Structure 1
Amino acid sequence: MTERPNTPLLDRVRVPADMKGLSDADLERLAGELRAETISAVSETGGHLGAGLGVVELTVALHAVFEAPKDRIIWDVSHQCYPHKILTGRRDRIRTLRQKDGLSGFTKRSESPYDPFGAAHSSTSISAALGFAVARDLGGAPEHGIGDAIAVIGDGAMSAGMAFEAMNNAGHLKKRLIVILNDNEMSIAPPVGAMSSYLSRLYAGAPFQELKAAAKGAVSLLPGPFQEGARRAKDVLKHMTVGGTLFEELGFSYVGPIDGHDLGQLLPVLRTVKARATGPILIHVITEKGKGYGPAEAARDKGHGVSKFDVITGEQKKAPSNAPSYTKVFAESLAQEAAEDDKISAVTAAMPDGTGLKLFAERYPSRCFDVGIAEQHAVTFSAGMAAGGLRPFCALYSTFLQRGYDQVVHDVAIQRLPVRFAIDRAGLVGADGATHAGSFDIGYLANLPGFVVMAAADEAELRHMVATAARHDEGPIAFRFPRGEGAGVEMPERGAPIEIGKGRMIREGKGVAILSFGARLSEVLLAAERLEAKGISPTVADARFAKPLDRELILDLAARHEALITIEEGAVGGFGSHVAQLLGDEGVFDAGLKFRSMVFPDTFIDQASPADMYRVAGMSAPDIEAKVLEVMGVAVVGQRA
């Protein structure tokens, strides 16, 4: 274990109220100790490092000036909230971050009164803060005693439409609302788009002169890297045809930019805003992601997401890989297809690394589009390209595709446009917990007319599914695959298209058939081995498709077996429900077939390792074995051994 940092001031701070007696000089020292403690903790747990290091001084300033939890501090996305958690009574558990039964890696209402609003997806903070402001002014629940509502949102999150919908409404309502724009010029990936370009140039000229004086916000006092940008922005404003800034046009008073690592600027601004603000106000704070830790500052992604690491060297402790990751297989397979088809394009929403499209962008830059944190736009943009004769692959995490569901229905499915959805992080994802689990896409896609929905049982199947999607022009098609390493199967050099709606037999048995959809197949096969030792030899098949179903395969399994069990990495209403509908329509249940469907339980599963989460979900090999024994009428005793 790494030696813990020396933190005499931080040791005195159990909750933010303990900071009220500290001088500004003490707060400076406290920020240094908080940064050291954050680095030390994340070195032991892994997690989001750079974002938290970028807001250490801002976190200290907010808690020194405002009175949480009465004042509601809402962190957008909230992957930057580790320093906040340390200051709000959770330091003794900070080394359980993202672990089973430990602290969430995001804000979570059930975890602490200092987390007034949960988050993990982006661009929700201003809407929520405005809701708190209205609740405050309309009385709300008296026991909650809402004070100020403060949203802290990054420049990447600010580029999403929802943030501007909220600001437009806030400007209209004119409620006292504080928005802090944490501008680090780097979200998960370098931010893209006109909004980011605007923010990088922006410098306010006229309003709130007193605040600017309090902030020492003159250009000459900004750090070197910020000075040139400020001068350029002032030149830009001279040529604006309408006075004021974009934020002022939306009804916000604007203050900034100020150095987000200088408490000498942060504290006076926040104190003045707290004392004098009446309506909505935006404070533009410039920070550096990964600030204060050399290895993070030097990293291309500024230490956004790290595994456990050595504090001295920054070297991450990653387990050796036995198989390629599913994401890498997808990326390489798509690049192979694009080499032979110049109509193939790729779209991601601020996740070029996470979805593997960085490789595609390097090889085919004119055909790869990172649209920023804008999943709704990503879907309809892809639909437009499909309508224009291209073959777009829209690569999103399952949890983020949820944000564009209306567009999937209205702009893609109804028009039967051949958008290819590459759905990464399907199923349970581990340390990010319930907010990032890919639990619902099978249900919300397979219920759409004309949609083809596939799931890869292993990395070789994923390669074949990429090839299948590339050649499917009859309508929308989706293929889902999990986070992490593949199963270690032999890989084909190239993908071969799969016949639409056709599954495959894996092993023949008798009595009971298990029909797997997706990457639980490896667990199904482990369960089959355990069952063989008990004299039960199940048939195992890989469905491949939730829609269209392989009717011939399913009805054959039902006719030849006493029992049929489906298993999928998704919630109720997905693949198993479609199979049950088919069997009911065909009158199979009348013939006495025993049918069971193994799906995620009707609850949100908290963070743990993926293996632990699947055990909680009851979908590991021992659980599958127990389900077979139950349906076959065999007594189940100690099956989880």
Structure 2
Amino acid sequence: MKVLPSIQSPKDLRLIKKELLPTLCQELRDTIISTVSKNGGHLGSSLGAVEIITALHYVFNTPQDKIVFDTGHQAYAHKLLTGRQAAFEHIRQKGGISGFPKRYESEYDSFGVGHASTALSAALGMAIARDQKKENSKVIAIVGDGCLTGGMAYEALQNAGLLATDMLVILNDNQMFISQRVGALGKFLTKLLTKQYVQLAEEKATNFLKRFDDLGNNAAKLAKKARAILFPGTIFEEMGFRYFGPVNGNNIEELIEVLESVKDVKGPVMLHVVTKKGKGYKPAEEKPTKFHGIGIFDVETGDTIGKANGITFTQAFSQALVKLGEKDTTVNAITAAMPEGTGLDAFRDKFPTRYFDVGIAEEHGATFAAGLAACGLKPVFALYSSFAQRCYDQILHDVALQKLPVVFALDRAGVVGEDGPTHHGVFDLSFLRSVPDLVLAAPADENELQHMLKTGLYCGRPFVLRYPRGAGFGVEMDAKMKTLDIGKGVWLKKGTDLTIAAIGNRVHPALQAANALEKQGVSCGVINMRFVKPLDTQILDEALRISPRIVTVEDNALIGGFGAAVAEYLADKGAAFRLLRLGIPDRFVEHAKSAQLYEQLGLNAQQIEQRILNWKNK
């Protein structure tokens, strides 16, 4: 008889015998593997965190006690244990539950998340709120070791140490080189140090020694240093945390024992647990990077199914950057912990001394790139559009203000599909368009992307190149890269009734819509604008001379986006015009397949055609 179906909430979990917990953990893994193989998702991290999540819900009184996830891509077991087993089958699907914690999805999701390094700040805020309201509850933050590479995490750590309120931080460490530290000695010392009488004795001894002026203080410091020899938590101790660990994060019995011992320790507590990414599924254990975020795959072999035909935008960028790097040794590449996701792994393997992974530290990455550019190098900082939101000030203050020639390659611009609103890159045109001296470019297809990358590298200006996730349009790649005229669009076809001015990956759907409109007697021109900033006003003036009807199409927010730039120009010009702006409305877009989202948003070829017809006939 299976254990998991009987658990509809953590209250049910806390009623079962401890001996059944290993079986439950295996059932959780089986369910996660089976579901992700059909839907895609974040597999490796979720498999590694099964025991941590199960133990936390077993020991603590959730949802009164609050668990705060960092990034949230490891929370699948949490969803299964908190009343969402039936819904889990449709995770990340249209109308289904999210792949990340969401406050309005469940009372057990205490804080919504999708970006890294936020849990410590949120948990500290919750702990202080609890104190002010005089409530009796626990606050636990689960933080991956990768998330500690983000500066925001350290800001929260130092503030937590200063405020000294009660909170527990679980440092989920899946770095393989630390695994040997979880041995007999480590277990013994961790058990010993989590005993209450040992904690009290340590505090009393320290207080006693401090009574003897400098000699006593020196002795207390020496004792602390001696403890640090066996424990790698010195930095956390210095920041005001009580450090325990490391412990085996994939041993449910050991985890429960330690959690029960530390749950009532006063002040900030850091519990260091070591887990194996992809635990329990051999392909994910052997290739953790591949199974971090994966599409549909065969459970037996681990092979992905239904790969896109042709080259993706990311692959086009990757190949072009390597070619440019071969010819120019001043080209450097930077990523914020996403070498495979951004395609920089190929550049890394070929030019390791010119490749830099700054960790989850987009702010530092942008200013680091500015430093390289200030000394004559050509840096390309590749990151996801939604993560570029984190380094807005650095782009404005450290790059654009100084007119430094840094190329920002924003992957995953537009809607990204099943990862949902935390990852849709639909705001970059809006938040970057106001920055002076910044070039904003968006290629229509994978071939144009390589030319834009070369243009950005050699234009001598701050340059943003934004492009979407997934497959290109099957356009043949030119053998030789060329530079484009900055701020110049191109006519794809001319029409007498109206003109569609499109940007980025909506150019080809706009052209398809125009061709369909021609069959219905509507003469429709199409411009591939290429650049949002500087805007090609000459080509817009030409379109106005043909017809006062202009349609803009983009996969960015309508507020402040490309269509808004066109509207501003036409209004300031005092032109007589009629304008239809198609793009992302003023709301957060939920998760679904990208094709479903473009249809829902009215931005695929068929919807563009129909919306233009409805507008023209008004």
TM-score by length of 2: 0.91
1:339 alignment partner, one of 305, 326, 329: 326
1:425 alignment partner, one of 412, 421, 424: 412
Q: How many angstroms apart in 2 are the aligned matches of 1:244 and 1:289?
A: 22
Partner of 1:257: 246
TM-aligned CA deviation for residue 584 of structure 1? 1.7
Partner of 2:283: 295
- For each residue in 1:453-510, what CA deviation from the matched residue of structure 2 results, as whole angstroms up to 9, or x when unmatched? 000101111011011012111x201111100000011210122100111110001111
1:98 alignment partner, one of 74, 77, 92: 92
1:121 alignment partner, one of 100, 115, 125: 115
TM-aligned CA deviation for residue 30 of structure 1? 1.5
- For each residue in 1:86-125, what CA deviation from the matched residue of structure 2 results, as whole angstroms up to 9, or x when unmatched? 0100011111011000010111111111101011100100
Partner of 2:142: 152
1:66 alignment partner, one of 57, 60, 63: 60
Q: How many angstroms apart in 2 are the aligned matches of 1:235 and 1:354?
A: 42
Matches within 5 A, 1:158-169: 158-169=148-159
2:546 alignment partner, one of 528, 544, 560: 560
Partner of 1:313: 301
1:50 alignment partner, one of 30, 41, 44: 44
Q: How many angstroms apart in 1 are the aligned matches of 2:229 and 2:274?
A: 22
The SS at the match of 1:89 is coil
Q: How many angstroms apart in 2 are the aligned matches of 1:212 and 1:546?
A: 62
Say whether the 8 Å CA contact 1:208–1:254 is kept in structure 2: no
Letter in 1 for 2:259: L
The SS at the match of 1:296 is helix
1:615 alignment partner, one of 599, 602, 615: 599
Q: Is 1:15 the counterpart of 2:5 in the alignment? A: no
Say whether the 8 Å CA contact 1:124–1:162 is kept in structure 2: yes
The SS at the match of 2:415 is coil
Matches within 5 A, 1:472-621: 472-473=459-460, 475-571=461-557, 572-589=559-576, 593-621=577-605
Say whether the 8 Å CA contact 1:528–1:538 is kept in structure 2: yes
Q: How many angstroms apart in 2 are the aligned matches of 1:381 and 1:85?
A: 38
Say whether the 8 Å CA contact 2:190–2:247 is kept in structure 1: no
Q: Is 1:24 the counterpart of 2:18 in the alignment? A: yes
2:612 alignment partner, one of 616, 620, 628: 628
Q: How many angstroms apart in 2 are the aligned matches of 1:535 and 1:342?
A: 54
Letter in 1 for 2:312: S
Matches within 5 A, 1:199-214: 209-211=192-194
TM-aligned CA deviation for residue 631 of structure 1? 3.4
1:184 alignment partner, one of 153, 174, 184: 174
Partner of 2:222: none
Say whether the 8 Å CA contact 1:75–1:81 is kept in structure 2: yes
Q: How many angstroms apart in 2 are the aligned matches of 1:79 and 1:238?
A: 34
The SS at the match of 2:568 is helix
TM-aligned CA deviation for residue 422 of structure 1? 0.6
Change (3 A) 1:552 1:90: same
Q: How many angstroms apart in 2 are the aligned matches of 1:471 and 1:622?
A: 38
Q: How many angstroms apart in 2 are the aligned matches of 1:348 and 1:283?
A: 29
Q: Is 1:271 the counterpart of 2:260 in the alignment? A: yes
- For each residue in 1:501-522, what CA deviation from the matched residue of structure 2 results, as whole angstroms up to 9, or x when unmatched? 1110001111100000111011
The SS at the match of 1:515 is strand
TM-aligned CA deviation for residue 44 of structure 1? 2.1
Letter in 2 for 1:426: A
Change (3 A) 1:96 1:564: same
Deviates more, 1:261-270 or 1:250-259: 261-270
Partner of 2:352: 365
Q: Is 1:36 the counterpart of 2:27 in the alignment? A: no
Partner of 2:426: 439
Partner of 1:221: none
Counting aligned pairs with the same residue, the percent is: 45
TM-aligned CA deviation for residue 446 of structure 1? 1.6
Change (3 A) 1:331 1:302: closer
Q: How many angstroms apart in 2 are the aligned matches of 1:49 and 1:116?
A: 22
Aligned length, in residue pairs: 589
TM-aligned CA deviation for residue 204 of structure 1? 11
Q: How many angstroms apart in 1 are the aligned matches of 2:477 and 2:108?
A: 49
TM-aligned CA deviation for residue 300 of structure 1? 4.8
Letter in 2 for 1:415: Q
The SS at the match of 1:434 is coil
Change (3 A) 1:208 1:236: closer
Letter in 1 for 2:43: L
Partner of 1:465: 452
Q: How many angstroms apart in 2 are the aligned matches of 1:547 and 1:45?
A: 38
Q: How many angstroms apart in 1 are the aligned matches of 2:430 and 2:480?
A: 30
TM-aligned CA deviation for residue 555 of structure 1? 0.9
Change (3 A) 1:347 1:235: farther
Change (3 A) 1:116 1:265: same
Change (3 A) 1:206 1:300: closer
Say whether the 8 Å CA contact 1:212–1:255 is kept in structure 2: no
Partner of 1:137: 131
TM-score by length of 1: 0.88
Deviates more, 1:486-495 or 1:426-435: 486-495
Letter in 2 for 1:171: G
Q: How many angstroms apart in 2 are the aligned matches of 1:518 and 1:236?
A: 57
What is the alpha-carbon root mean square deviation over aligned residues?
2.5
1:245 alignment partner, one of 224, 234, 248: 234
The SS at the match of 1:338 is helix
TM-aligned CA deviation for residue 210 of structure 1? 3.8
Uncovered stretches (5+) of structure 1, i.e. residues with no partner = 1-6, 191-195, 216-233, 635-641
Q: How many angstroms apart in 1 are the aligned matches of 2:335 and 2:526?
A: 35
Say whether the 8 Å CA contact 2:277–2:288 is kept in structure 1: no
